[in-house]
Amino acid sequence: MIFEPQFESMPRPRMRELQEQRLHDIVRYVYERVPFYREQFDAAGIRPDSVCSLDDLPRLPITRKTDLRDHYPFGLFAVPTSDVSRIHASSGTTGKPTVVGYTRKDLDLFARVVARCLAMAGAEPGMILHNSYGYGLFTGGLGLHAGGELLGMAVVPVSGGMTERQITLLTDFRPEVIASTPSYALTLAQEFHQRGILPEEISLRFAVLGAEPWTDSMRRQVDTSLGVQATNIYGLSEVIGPGVSNECVEARNGSHVNEDHFLPEVVDPATGETLPEGKEGVLVFTTLTKQALPLIRYWTGDIASLHSEPCRCGRTLARMSLIKGRTDDMLIVRGVNVYPSQVESVLGRMPELTPHYRIIVSREATLDSVEVQVEVTDDFFRIVGSEVLSDDIVETHQLLRQLRDRIAYLIKDSMGVSMQVTLVAPGTVPRSEGGKLQRVVDRRALR
């Protein structure tokens, strides 16, 4: 079902008109209400009323996370805190969190766009939603919650963690839909497997997975191990939270962006130049209708491409590819740019491996070196019959040695850099306990 067909299936020329009208209004709004934007526009010689077309976008200044940090906590809000109904924050790895605010109307919008996303994912009124996203300052839990309720679902606010209890509730309440990070969906799948519960015995039909990067090979794992159709949900706190885009279950080929509210662009990370459709670059969003924290050309750091060909689901909303990585996740190994998702794509092609891996980056003298640690499957592990996969065991066991060398070869072949590959025993790579999973361990910073 399409939750708001009048917008989601709007003819594209009409969508452009709507976006242009809203862009004009929001530029005026921020100019009048947010000193930061007034100064930026004045310095660039931009008169707000002159912004009437999407072609004017490249003239507007980019907003970055550092701008939010520099105006911590509420300095970029366009309304007084007395008009704010809720505050969320995303924890930065360093320093202060990024703080975001919502008026009552923003919260209604938040629920509407998430309801759209859930419907895109296959959810329908009357179904039960098991919501494993964390409740609290993180936008995932409360965001999915309100969207589910608005769609007419019964929402189970489990939050992240306490996997035992999640399995009990999933078994007893028999929800059709689960919302979680992709890595946590795999943690749950593994728990079911260990209890001898088969995918066809699990009530789930649809999984709405996001908040961290994942790949098509991981999707296949989730689909088969939980017996679901998994779709990608994307978003970020600054733009709204979850609800910026979602794949439709009909095509599962790119996430439909709610572009009547969040205007997407893809720009070249090096030059800042706007890129044409289909080209990969950094996603930049302008919020068209938010009141408390409107943002002009917000630099997400996420790498993706945009496409607007018709979709078989009947929606006309443009689609974004899966996120390839973040500009700040990018590793430069001997001059070559590498994203963790590229490594994951190689590993995902091999049936002897589980989706559990991590990448350890270290520095010897001036050279960065990368080690990929990946777990083999239980079946494959049985052939070695050891407690651990030490280097000695791998060296002496022909099948293991061949597997390790094949992975190293494919990595080198597809990415152009050599990485050390270490095979590890099942269950040894840290799992998601509900939150976002950190797959890259950067030991360079520790030196």
Binding stretches for ligand DLL (CB under 6 A): 90, 133, 138-140, 210-213, 232-237, 241-242, 300, 302, 323, 326
- Measured from the CB atom, the residue of 29 and 234 that comes closer to ligand DLL is 234
Pairing status of strand 229-236 against strand 98-102: unpaired
Phi and psi dihedrals of 374, rounded to 5? -135, 140
Pairing status of strand 154-156 against strand 128-131: parallel
- Measured from the CB atom, the residue of 102 and 380 that comes closer to ligand DLL is 102
| Beta carbon of residue 201, minimum distance to ligand DLL (angstroms, whole number) | 27
- DSSP bridge partners of 100: 88
| Beta carbon of residue 418, minimum distance to ligand DLL (angstroms, whole number) | 27
- Measured from the CB atom, the residue of 209 and 361 that comes closer to ligand DLL is 209
Identify whether the C-beta of residue 244 lies closer than 8 Å to the C-beta of residue 236. yes
Residue nearest ligand DLL by beta-carbon distance? 210
Residue 44 zone, left/alpha/beta (φ > 0; ψ -120 to 50; rest):
alpha
Nearest to 151 by CA among 86, 206, 103: 206
| Beta carbon of residue 301, minimum distance to ligand DLL (angstroms, whole number) | 6
- Measured from the CB atom, the residue of 323 and 403 that comes closer to ligand DLL is 323
Nearest to 2 by CA among 321, 318, 317, 320: 317
- Measured from the CB atom, the residue of 236 and 400 that comes closer to ligand DLL is 236
| Beta carbon of residue 217, minimum distance to ligand DLL (angstroms, whole number) | 15
| Beta carbon of residue 5, minimum distance to ligand DLL (angstroms, whole number) | 23
| Beta carbon of residue 383, minimum distance to ligand DLL (angstroms, whole number) | 35
* Residue recorded with tokens 């969003």: 285
Instruction: Give the H or E element holding residue 185.
Output: helix 182-194
Instruction: Check whether the bond before 5 is cis (ω within 30° of 0).
Output: no
- Measured from the CB atom, the residue of 233 and 415 that comes closer to ligand DLL is 233
> Based on the number of CB atoms within 10 Å of its own CB, is 367 exposed (0-12), middle (13-18) or buried (19 or more)?
exposed
Residue type at 17 in one-letter notation: E
